[in-house]
Structure 1
Amino acid sequence: MSPTSLLTTLLVAAASVRLAAAASAQVFSPPGKGPLKQTANYTSFSNSTLHDHKVVKGKAFDRIIQIWLENTDFEVAASSPMFESLSEQGITFTNFHSTTHPSEPNYIASAGGDFFGAADDNMYHIPSNISCVVDLLEDRGVSWATYQENMPTDSFYGYSYTQPNYINSSAAPYIYYYRKHNPLIIYDAVSQDPERVKRVRTFNDFANDVVNGTLPQWMFITPNMVNDAHDTTIDFAADFLEYWLLPLLTDPRVNGERTLILLTFDENESFGVQNTIYAVALGTAVPVNLRGTTDDTVYSHYSTLSTVQNNWDLKSLGRQDTNASIASVFDFVAKQTGHKNTPAAPNQVPHFNLTGVASGPLSSAHYVPFAAPNVNAKGAGKGGVFLRPGINLKLTADKLPAPVNLTALNTTTPWQMSPETTSGKKMIKCQGAACP
């Protein structure tokens, strides 16, 4: 058996054990009295609100809310009564793909246009000369924030957070929050910027921002480890959506005029098949005549980046967000903006279930430095490729050195940190020839 086949077999076995354990574990209990009521079960109460009153008009939508759930095959989610009901209210994307396994690389890719070789859920940070979606949004004045359920405080940098079990007070404390599901905190361009990092916010902050009418235009929302189905089941996640999402769909402060809500998953559960995940476009921005329909276009997590770029005419990241074959703009948006997609044929979609074989700066087994983005790439927006200060434009993808197996040298990529790291001031700095 090849190393890749063996790894896949082990991952499938581990996933099966996790799913079996989850199925017999917990019963949904609401963390509070409603999605817009602050609760002590989220550890800290909100002590601030955003001040995002300016609206930058988009071509097809003025606000996008991404909500990510976890580790579920398309067929499993699509056959759940809750998700069937949601599909009747929006456009179901039947050919939407995750980018790899496990969770963290997908979250990294959703914000930066690449997962940079990551093949596990370890604690990483990405240097400040690497751009992410926040750079593109701020370049055009589009407001943004990420809201993380059970993250203990704003701007929290730690690997995880353990707290009293709000579902079962007699049970042991529970890890409801993991950093691996919080993409923007992984990018130094956000976490090490004292103003930007304030926009890495909690669910109590979300409630506060809604009540104050200051929700931003771009949002990334991550439920906790039980509500997103990671540690539980799709039925548990459905109960959470009934508690949290359904009331918001009828609240104009959230789902106001020209709002797009993308509900999706980070990856599928079955490693032996194509990495197809359930995704549905909801909200007032979805044309009425398209609600209850399906879209068979090939999409990936990179498509959300290209759709946002196309909608607001943003620059691109010059990475997989500009790969037209797997980063098609959502069709209903493209038809409104005049953008022409050139998606891959279904039989030419990359096998996104490959795990641990990509080289990159976040891979200890196949380490290479961070490459510069492709400055000649053509994105779905306008204005070329965004470049952050300090990027080495000479170190292009075709000029990278051969991958190095740092694991065999009994070390790790310099961009991996210890889980004990709780403050940006304690970050492990890159040193030596391995640095970009």
Structure 2
Amino acid sequence: MADAAQRLSALAEEILDGPLPVRIRAWDGSEAGPPGTPVLVVRHRRALRRLLWKPGELGLARAWVAGDLDVDGDLYEALDLLAELIWERGAEAKDTVHPVRDPKLRAAAFGLLKLGGTLPPPPPPDEEADGHRNGRRHTKRRDKAAISHHYDVGNDFYSLVLGPSMVYSCAYWEGPDATLEAAQRDKLDLIARKLALKEDDRLLDVGCGWGSMAIHAAREYGARVTGITLSTEQAAYARKRIAEEGLTDRIEIRVQDYRDVGDGPYDAISSIGMAEHVGAVQYREYADVLHALLKPGGRLLNHQIARRPEKDESAYRVDEFIDRYVFPDGELAPLGRTLSTLEEAGFEARDVESIREHYALTLRAWVARLEAAWPKAARLTSPGRARVWRLYMAASALAFEHNKIGVNQILAVRTPQDGDSGLPLRTREWRG
């Protein structure tokens, strides 16, 4: 079968009503498609079987994670060229076309079946989370398992990707030529200034990760910090860093669900990239819990990714690749819904800052670090896991660049009954 690429290209053209925008290289070494573009490498015929048994994004994801599919060339360019076909046109087709009833798609499916072989595909890659989730979504037990799937993949792996800052959220860039480390430091300081932290303030850092915000707040502002995470590996790493910094008298790290924190009130709460894990059903409870943990006049800084609203919100579907391989049970909400829920819980929203472009720069920096140390990254976790992280970070960078998703910092206050928020008349003093 020395012409597999040509046959694949022809079948793709039948399905798509037009040529693939990238070149194809098949398992037999043959190539077809436009020259000078990134090459979609189909390493094994079982990639086609995965697609036939799970058409669309999930089949593609499984083939990618297993190494049956790859890209030779610029991954960002390839994803940009394929985005409309995989996500936008694919979503429309799932809603409007039944492949068995459509004669053209049925013929193409038989062609793929003949080319890929009739055997069923192998089981999903081990990196897929679906088999490890049991019970109702967003119970404490299931949330802990979901967090473990994403974060307990090795501190050394995350150190390689994130760099010395060990901050796994959007940095705050002075410009595209700034260093990742400087941009993450500036983000932590921006949050500390928005919260108006001062000596001996009690700060609760919800989803504290590897302890970076806690260390910055204690070391630079003299705050007393409680950091909580559901990841045992993160907690162990954070405690070690805190001891090395000589800050054990000012920082406590707990493996604890936010719903179990009972030692308020706090002067301030930071929640940085954690609320995406809460879930739409639980978000009001999240807002209520944080409101109750703040003293009157206390501030919340909620740093959270947001999706764009759907014309019909009932049509919203969680991304299958992200749900199965990256953030199990994670959900994004539109900014307006997040603001409304915080207000319903009693918060007064005082400032919203969109930093969407900053996350694109951050993700590209992480991808560059991952690609520069690829053999080590694959060795520290697994080749499949490294492939998951490369794909999701590169695709996410493009999503932020094209305004498909955003990220916002919301400053909210538990304003006391007398209405005195404690904020100065010119509230953006943190601009410096």
Q: Same fold (TM over 0.5)?
A: no
Larger relative contact order (CA 8 Å, sep ≥ 6) = 1
Answer with 1 or 2: which has the greater Rg: 2
Higher helix residue share: 2
